Amino acid sequence: MHSKDFGIIAFEVHFPRYYIAQTDLEVADECIGKYTKGLEQEALGLCSVEEDICSICLTVVSNLVSRLNLDLRDVGFLEVGTETLIDKSKSTKTVLMQLFENCGNLDVEGVDVKNACFGGTAALFHALNWLESSAWDGRLALVVAADIAVYGTKATRPTGGAGAVAMLLGPNAPLVIDPGLASTVSVISQSHPAQAADGLGHPIDFVCFHSPFTRLVRKAFGWLALDDVRRATCVSNGEGCNGIGQNDTNRLDAAVVDSISRLVQPDSPTLDIRETDSICMKATADLFTDRVEPGLVFARQVGNMYTASLYTCLVSLLLSTPESRLRGRRVLLYSYGSGLASAMFSLRIHQTRTLSDLCYSADSEAPKDDRTVNPIFNRLLTQRTRLDIKNFEKLLADRSTLHNAAPFKPTHRPEGLFPGSYFLDVVDEQHRRTYKQVPSCQP
């Protein structure tokens, strides 16, 4: 009989060392406040020519293995969700297999999954299916979600970003994925993806969203609260609702209901999306701060990481919230990928299993205003290299010009790489890429 409680045992997060402040982009683009207030973004992470999708995946998996002292012979499934392609035939997973060579483990299921920002979630579901199947041989599963998002116009480039998340899955996990299909939504629509988020079950305590930019997350949460009020068969007791608009006693929050209920009455005037957004965001502002905001540290500071976006939000939530508030709680996760696929699923945080291996010190009781106590937040907030607009634009130009160059050897820039990072060393005449690793002891 299989063990129960399959879920996530540990995370690792990697993001670029280079970044530009959104305030600097606003000055350059002559639109003060548009990116920091309009999009609610603080910084944008970006990779130099030395980092590509393979290198950031190598880095995040290597860091996870090193931190956990993981024996890769214990991994039987490896899948990568990404829409950042180098080779149209070969999976990024194939490149990651070089990490398995020393231990002699070449029997590893999985390939890459591509469907815009949804690929990481599809890979996660595939890993869970393998763990719960008759094919499971008792080993662990490893899922990587990673992307480099670069946009070419001034109007879109503030919504870029880059990052990678590695997730180790297995039985008796501290983060248990709730079994069973509750809702998977595929919507044919040209409007914003917040509308594809309707439909879920179970009261929840925290919410993590796919996060192209923070403002869109705020809107999506407001729409879920609207859906909560609309679905309630009896507003007075909240029966039939999905839990977004509920307070700590699992009853519909009266303040939210009072503010939103006029939108769902039969005689309510028809409002456009912008007006509805405004009403719902205002009504849910306090709930957003409590249930969603803790998961947005990476999203604000790094930007849109495509497939990795949702899972960096989950890591941010775990690192920003005291253990006493996490134990026994349920987290709702919403994944969206253009093209169009979306899914809502939930996980529960186990009452007693250790959380300390999840991502450095998830059980830290450090004050919220002292995030640098955690090593990964310290790296994010104090150890990155800030670019000015001139060097930012040069970096983007270099990535565009050299994207398909061969043979080619990038200029090594250690100030743009964290210790332990993999980087592209050379591309030969046949476009074969060779990678090296920065020493972990580099300052």
Q: Which residues are catalytic?
A: 83, 117, 210
Q: Can you state the angle between helices 389-402 and 22-29, rounded to 10 degrees?
A: 90
Can you tell me the distance from the alpha carbon of 83 to that of 97, in angstroms, rounded to the nearest whole number? 19
- The residue type of 46 is L
Q: Phi then psi for 415, rounded to 5 degrees?
A: -70, -15
Can you tell me the distance from the alpha carbon of 202 to that of 241, in angstroms, rounded to the nearest whole number? 8
Residues in the chain: 443
Q: Is 40 left (phi over 0), alpha (psi -120 to 50) or beta?
A: left
| Paired residues of 206 in beta bridges | 331
Within the chain, what is the greatest distance between any pair of CA atoms? Answer: 70
Considering only CA atoms, which of 331, 329, 332 is closest in space to residue 350?
329
Can you tell me the distance from the alpha carbon of 104 to that of 438, in angstroms, rounded to the nearest whole number? 24
Q: For 232-374, where are the alpha helices, taking DSSP H only?
A: 254-260, 273-283, 285-291, 297-302, 309-320, 323-326
Cα–Cα distance list, 288 to 160, 221, 253, 259, 417 (Å): 23, 7, 13, 15, 34
Peptide bond into 340 cis (omega under 30): yes
Q: Are 113 and 122 in contact (CB under 8 A)?
A: yes
Q: Are 51 and 424 in contact (CB under 8 A)?
A: yes
By the 10 Å C-beta count (0-12 exposed, 13-18 middle, 19+ buried), 53 is classed as buried
